[in-house]
Amino acid sequence: MGTSVLSLRIDEELLERLRQHAAKRGMSVQDYVVQTLIRDDFDERFQTAVEETEKFYGLT
């Protein structure tokens, strides 16, 4: 699997908050943002799977 570059423009206040969150976890800002995106993607896919399972069993 290859990698790509994603460039973001964010304000200083948000960047500072990201730095603080990353530092608490001993991570770089880049690693913190990537992990957050991965976690959010997993949560979304998990929720979709739960909804599909509920539909299958007629729970919704």
Residues 50/41, Cβ–Cβ less than 8 Å: no
pLDDT > 80? residue 39: yes
> Per the confidence metrics, is the pTM higher than 0.85?
no
Q: Comparing 57 with 29, which gets the higher pLDDT?
A: 29
Contact 39, 25 (CB under 8 A): no
Q: Mean pLDDT across the stretch 21-48? A: 92
Q: Average pLDDT, stretch 19-28?
A: 97
Q: What percent of the chain has pLDDT over 90?
A: 48
Residue with tokens 């909804």: 51
